Amino acid sequence: MRGLYAIVDLGVLATRRIDPVAFAHAILRVGPAALQVRAKDAPARETLAVMRELAPMCHRSGAILVANDRPDLAILAGCDCVHIGQTDMPIDRVRRIAPQLGVGLSTHTIAQLDAAVAARPLYVAYGPVFETATKKDPDPVVGVAGLRVAAAHAAAAHVPLVAIGGITRERARELVGLVDAVAVVAELLPPVIVAGGAPPQTAEILREVTVRARALHELFASEPAVAGAAR
């Protein structure tokens, strides 16, 4: 796994009135490493419908399709992987009920990361690296220095490391050579136009999404992590 790990957050997109499938298509044009569907508040049926539509699109582009939290929906939708957090279903149980799925794990401390890599996941995410506004009750910021320590631990275990939390195109440059991929939500979307400005058309927004996705993906797509983590 190397490059952009794009997150399709149904809640964020709903507030911007952007169709999640069109948004995903704009990202998949650049060939990202992975596409995760996050739906904290959406009904399961709606989430499943989106993932079922995205599965063949991701498979054609070579991107891993990841379901957030829900191995049951991941199986039904034909996803490649499920992403779980520290308070979600344990990885051993996920593997018992869905042995065909890869599993990615969120971690926020070195102790959590060490426990995660011992379970041999498909990848491990670490963060938040920077302040983030797209997650409720985020864990404490680990910073670039903390991420550097995590990178050494992940590389020693030969598990790909994904940085997450507050990552912008400018901040991502600080992480080149440290991680295999960057997970991004808000930075894929152009800023909201302030009152009085003309709102951009959907096609214009999606073109900007592709530009932003490409800029982030190309930073990491051909740059191995400094400590040589496995891909």
Query: How many independent structural domains does the chain possess?
Result: 1
What's the whole-model pTM score?
Answer: 0.92
Q: What spatial distance separates the first Cα and last Cα of the chain, rounded to whole Å?
A: 5
Instruction: Let me know if residue 228 belongs to a domain.
Output: no
CATH number of the domain bearing residue 103:
3.20.20.70
Amino acid at 156: A
Instruction: Let me know if residue 9 belongs to a domain.
Output: yes
Instruction: Let me know if residue 80 belongs to a domain.
Output: yes
Instruction: Let me know if residue 229 belongs to a domain.
Output: no
For position 231, what pLDDT does the model report? 37
Instruction: Let me know if residue 64 belongs to a domain.
Output: yes
Query: What residues make up the domain containing 185?
Result: 3-221
Q: Which bin fits 8, alpha (ψ -120 to 50), beta or left (φ > 0)?
A: beta
pLDDT in tens, 168-202: 999 999 999 999 999 999 999 998 755 555 556 88
Contacts of 209 (CB under 8 A, 6+ apart): 23, 26, 27, 188, 189, 190
DSSP strand E in the chain: where?
3-9, 34-38, 64-68, 81-84, 102-107, 123-126, 161-164, 181-184
For position 198, what pLDDT does the model report? 55
Instruction: Let me know if residue 187 belongs to a domain.
Output: yes
Q: Which residues of the chain have pLDDT under 50?
A: 227-231
